[in-house]
A and B are shown apart, each in its own frame.
Chain A
Amino acid sequence: MPETLPEDSIGLVSAQTMHFDAPLALTSGRTLESYDLVYETYGSLNADKSNAILICHALSSDHHAAGYNSMDDRKPGWWETCIGPGKVIDTNHFYVVCSNNLGGCKGSTGPSTINPETGKPYGPDFPIVTVKDWVKSQALFADKLGISQWLAVIGGSLGGMQVLQWSIDYPDRLKHAAVIAASPKLTAQNIGFNEVARQAIMTDPEFYEGHYYEHDSVPRRGLMLARMLGHITYLSDDAMRDKFGRELRQGKISYGFDVEFQVESYLRYQGESFVDRFDANTYLLMTKALDYFDPASDYDDDLSKALSHARANFLVISFTSDWRFAPERSREIVKALQDNNHNVSYADIEVPHGHDAFLIPIKDYLAAFGAWMQHLVKEVQS
């Protein structure tokens, strides 16, 4: 157990829960009668509430974006790289808020939550939620926090998609928007990967059509496979070669199907540890939210039209080796913003790390992101 936490960390943080009694009408046509959102905040809200930044999380992360929940934590929050005192998202200046998406499994109402109507976990009966629904729930959440306008909404990957949706659905409620390693919609290849992940989960005999909680079981194999597949797509070919090459665990080939290559060991470890911290039904939901995301579809499939009323100043960042959400997808966002003469800066960071790069302290990435954030610091100070 560490005696002290790193100095540039926000330190010990704890989650809070906000309850919502008013029914939430969802895109699917269904309604969630009541729900909770669990969230963390870092830094302090200033008097005129003009320094609040919303962080949107990606597929498998949650509201714990920075700091440590206890002195026993081995790892800090998922975006410790960027959030903290003196960091790019500087908690000395900003009030940073991150909530767990609806349908999640870390405290916000989701499939593993008890359905008040039945007294049993929602399981597969939990309504499908979309990025639009998340943003709507976050807007209601902001109302309760008393924040009428975010200084910025920031997110990577699926979080970046939420940022885009925010700027379209609530143009007056955010001044700045950072869309990192995101995409305006998924490609067929992306949906394909998600479908394989879902099939892995749903065909696991322990899945019980999503009612595994009642059977006291967990579709471990399926969720593990889904995560292993995901992991391959989050890394680049080069990153995997650099990290593992064809290195053998025992130093020689044993002509069997046990773990032989380091990469196999790594993926199995990633898959297995994921099962212990994530819920299979939530994984299914999140991948569906990704697949359905296509804000242009409400605007004649024209992304420029979708973004025509956006008012935020944008920062778009992609990573050259990201093949899950390739730079071309970010360029589509940039083009749509350019078409509308919106303020946007775009950097395509040259890195070998693949999609996961947005979580990694990369010099050029942090320099570009940091330079953009400095304007927000000035805005708060003036």
Chain B
Amino acid sequence: MNNLRPDLQTICEWINPGTRILDLGCGDGTLLEMLKTERNVNGYGLEIDIDNIVKCIAAGVNVIQTDLNAGLSDFDANSFDYVVMTQALQAVERPDRLLNEMLRVGREGIVTFPNFGHYRARTQLFFGGHMPMTPTLPSQWYNTQNIHLCTLTDFENLCAENDIHVLQRTVVDHNHRSSLGMKLFPNLLGEIAIYRFKRK
């Protein structure tokens, strides 16, 4: 599990064995494959990129080519234990709508996103006067897929407005390290935010 993307490792630990999962923007299927072999968790991955879809199929995980911006209308209410979305919330057209869709389809939701409130982003914007480029935000402002970046505070405000109850939160850096500092000042020192939540 050591080579797993930092946020994926945490999610693996959060998910109960034997449950059903829908992974939105599942990439190459790493998380699904891990959950399947290690925790007997099954379900589907939704992905739009054909190269990733081929990788998912090769990895033996179920993948459905889907444009997340079109919503989850093909899925019935409460058909999954967890709906997971890693590093994609900030790239969709309407994160707020998708968040609510996640909790229509799943009992619980899990998201991870790069924290725009991290001090490196703040200092680059404040002192450098330019859009931040960091290990978790490596693209230029003009070619980034991240069109709805947010901070921990922004995300928690959105949850509050939508009657979403945060069950678990953790922040890590890009090497999956956590520290006392991050626990004390998550919005300043956390690079990647991981949330588990449900409807109030």
Contacts and interface: CB of A to CB of B under 8 A. Distances in A.
Interface string B44-81: 10000010011111101011110000000011100100
B50 A374 contact: no
A343 interface: yes
Given A338-B44, A347-B50, 6 more contacts: A339-B76, A339-B79, A344-B62, A345-B53, A350-B50, A367-B54
21 contacts: A315-B57, A334-B64, A334-B74, A335-B74, A338-B44, A338-B64, A338-B75, A339-B76, A339-B79, A341-B20, A341-B42, A345-B57, A345-B63, A346-B64, A347-B50, A347-B53, A350-B50, A368-B50, A368-B53, A368-B54, A371-B55
- Interface extent on A, as a size class? 20 to 34
Contacts of B55: 371
Contacts of B63: 345-346
A368 B49 CA distance: 12
Interface residues of B, number: 19
Given A334-B74, A364-B50, A344 B57 contact: no
Q: Which residue, of B20, B58, B63, B65, has the highest number of chain A Cβ atoms within 10 A? A: B65
Interface string A342-372: 0111111110000000000000100110011
7 nearest A-B residue pairs (beta carbon): A371-B58, A371-B57, A367-B54, A346-B64, A364-B50, A348-B65, A335-B74
A371 B9 CA distance: 26
Nearest to A334: B64
B82 to A, nearest CB: 15
Nearest to B64: A346
A331 interface: yes
A375 interface: yes
Contact of A344 (B50, B58, B64, B76): B64
A341 B74 CA distance: 13
Contacts of B79: 339
A349 B50 contact: yes
Interface of B: 20, 42, 44, 50, 53-58, 60, 62-65, 74-76, 79
B64 A375 contact: no
Nearest to A339: B76
Contacts of A343: 62
Nearest to A366: B54
A345 B58 contact: no
A374 B58 contact: yes
A235 B60 CA distance: 33
Contacts of A346: 63-65
A189 to B, nearest CB: 22
B49 to A, nearest CB: 10
Contacts of B62: 343-345
Contact of A371 (B20, B54, B65): B54
Contacts of B58: 371, 374
A206 B133 CA distance: 74
A193 to B, nearest CB: 27
Contacts of B57: 315, 345, 347, 368, 371-372
A347 B58 CA distance: 13
A350 B67 CA distance: 13
Nearest to A332: B74
